Structure 1
Amino acid sequence: MGRIVYIHGQFVPEEEARIGLFDRGFLFGDAIYEVTAVINGRMIDNDLHLARLERSVGELAIPLPLPMEEIAAVQMELMARNGLRDGTIYLHVSRGEADRDFFYSDGLAPRLVGFTQAKVLTGTKGQREGISVDLAEDPRWQRRDIKTAMLLGQVMAKQAARARGFDDVWLVEGGLVTEGASATAHVITADGRILTRAASQATLPGCTQRALARLCAAEGLTIEERAFSPEEAQGAAEAFQTSASSLVMPVVRIGECTVGDGRPGPMTRKLQALYLEAAGVPV
């Protein structure tokens, strides 16, 4: 018996879960998703993730499948039924099921799916030593601010980066870094400013990014929201990326260039510690 998953109002063993052939998420990628980190049995930044889920379905005119408090209750029940201490909770909302047609009716019932994934999120080799990221042209659509399930561009970019010997990839458009394929990109200048792109339709508003920004404000650290080029990133003092599943991840190589001295820098270490402390994780 595998995990217990949530699908269409029921908690069932994963082996019994079924998605309908005519689900629009399956046929058109007409769906959104969210991933919340769980550390020591506690959901991290979940208020931000649920707020983003609500915004994403609103941007696509998909009705909420349940009230937000009931969605949060589904997450808690998934954690309890699977004994999840460390890992992630995935939520997926599709527009619903109907015979295949580009046009959709307003009466479709949205479908909610949820499951857990147990994994180690803290103290990983990447967080200790840093990771390398490739650079690739951004192949995605123009509404990246909506967390849709259409991830083929990211899949292809990540797969190509791994084939080239990199751990991950940052995407580039018009000569400027947009974001990582599944993370928010940040660099740190020689004078200690943290650079990351401002919110727009070109990037996904990162929940870990927003939580970290609050901590930086409380510490008096400067975050400058602006685009930066791959060359500026490669010449930065430090670099890192943020996401629910990687938290604050040092980046020590960008393309063929080593960042700084090739090790996670002191500012990145400080940010890692701030984030973990706020999450209630001993550092």
Structure 2
Amino acid sequence: MSEQIAYLNGDFLPLTEAKVSAQDRGFLFGDGIYEVIPVFQKKLFQLNAHLDRLRNSLNAVSIQDPYTDTQWETLLNDLIQKHPWDNQFVYLHVTRGVQLVRDHLPENNLKPTVYAYTNPLKPVADHILKHGIKAVTLEDIRWLRCDIKATTLLPNVMMKLAAKQQGADDAILIGRDQTISEGTASNVFIVKDGVLHTPPLSNRILPGITRMMIEKIALDHNIPLLEQQLFLADLETADEIWLTSSTKDALPVCSLNNNTIGSGKPGPIWRKMQAYFEQTKQALMAAED
């Protein structure tokens, strides 16, 4: 393919040439917000929901949104069209901007840095669809505002590495109160006796777009759903466990801490949800034509 293109502060340029100042607060402090938006058949999926979440996170940290919804849509569509892939995922990133004197306190009226690029969105591997993934439980070592989609992801990286070192694909995080929060980059659902459960939204949980869609699909298709606190024992006795995200939909967890979950294969409610999710996705994309 031709060279990948990135968007940086108003310009499209080769990805390898995109550079930001070493004095950018995003580099020095992780002072920024990001979003990941899936693209199907070159159409941004659930863009308004992603932009709402972006704006909520920016407002929470007092960074001004640099663009209107229309401007975001235009630049992201322009970026998508510069690449050959029908299915992509867009990463966009807004930092507070460049400040020449390093100080925890930001200067007034800094100009935000805006960066975006896209990669091909590959389907989930067949062996995962057939056999699920392995997860472990780890202590949630993150900060107390996980509802903000901040770029400061070092704890997530550390926990992902710790899961890998234990031979697992991912980790499900447990707080100091012993409640389940989420995965390293995903929301958590369990199925017990035909009922879908997920932790309620809080400052410890990112309001996932896929989580929101799954809740709506469950309501539309009469799948019982409860938002309630989950504990390790709930995971260990679950019939099914799912990890949900914008680029993976719902991944079935079939092994937790080296113990089999349910039958050891993706469960029947997950299979139903996969079919309903794909139907909903196609309907939403068709409605945008």
Q: Distance in 1 between matches of 2:257 and 2:124?
A: 25
For 1:115, the aligned partner's letter is Y
- What are the superposed Cα offsets for residues 130-173 of structure 1, whole Å, 9 maximum, x if unpaired? 11111100010000000000000000000111111101111111
Q: Distance in 2 between matches of 1:86 and 1:128?
A: 22
- What are the superposed Cα offsets for residues 103-133 of structure 1, whole Å, 9 maximum, x if unpaired? 1122101111000011313454323321111
In structure 2, the partner of 1:131 is 133
Scaled by the length of structure 2, the TM-score of the pair is 0.93
Of 215, 218, 237, the match for 2:239:
237
In structure 2, the partner of 1:188 is 191
Q: Secondary structure at the match of 1:6?
A: strand
The reply to whether residue 274 of structure 1 matches residue 276 of structure 2 is yes
Q: Distance in 2 between matches of 1:107 and 1:204?
A: 28
Q: Distance in 2 between matches of 1:167 and 1:123?
A: 13
- What are the superposed Cα offsets for residues 42-79 of structure 1, whole Å, 9 maximum, x if unpaired? 32222211110010001111001111211121211111
Contact 1:127 1:248 (C-alpha < 8 Å) held by counterparts: no
For 2:51, the aligned partner's letter is L
User: How much is the aligned-residue C-alpha RMSD, in angstroms?
Assistant: 1.4
Q: Secondary structure at the match of 2:117?
A: strand
Q: Distance in 1 between matches of 2:265 and 2:211?
A: 22
Of 142, 158, 178, the match for 1:175:
178
In structure 1, the partner of 2:23 is 22
Q: Distance in 1 between matches of 2:152 and 2:168?
A: 23
Give the unaligned 5+ runs of structure 2.
Answer: 284-289
Question: Which segment is superposed worse, 70-79 or 42-51?
Answer: 42-51
Contact 2:31 2:96 (C-alpha < 8 Å) held by counterparts: yes
1:69-80 aligned at under 5 Å gives the runs: 69-80=70-81
Question: Which segment is superposed worse, 263-272 or 74-83?
Answer: 74-83
Distance apart, 1:87 and its partner CA: 2.6
1:27-38 aligned at under 5 Å gives the runs: 27-38=28-39
How many residue pairs align between the two structures? Answer: 280
Contact 2:142 2:155 (C-alpha < 8 Å) held by counterparts: yes
Q: Percent identity?
A: 31
Scaled by the length of structure 1, the TM-score of the pair is 0.95
In structure 1, the partner of 2:98 is 97
> Quick one: structure 1 residues 258 and 276, their matched pair in 2 at CA, closer, same or farther if it must change by over 3 Å?
same
1:1-283 aligned at under 5 Å gives the runs: 2-99=3-100, 100-122=102-124, 124-173=126-175, 174-190=177-193, 192-280=194-282
Distance apart, 1:41 and its partner CA: 2.4
For 1:177, the aligned partner's letter is I
Q: Distance in 2 between matches of 1:169 and 1:26?
A: 27
Contact 1:45 1:208 (C-alpha < 8 Å) held by counterparts: no
Q: Distance in 2 between matches of 1:32 and 1:135?
A: 27
Give the unaligned 5+ runs of structure 1.
Answer: none
Q: Secondary structure at the match of 2:167?
A: coil
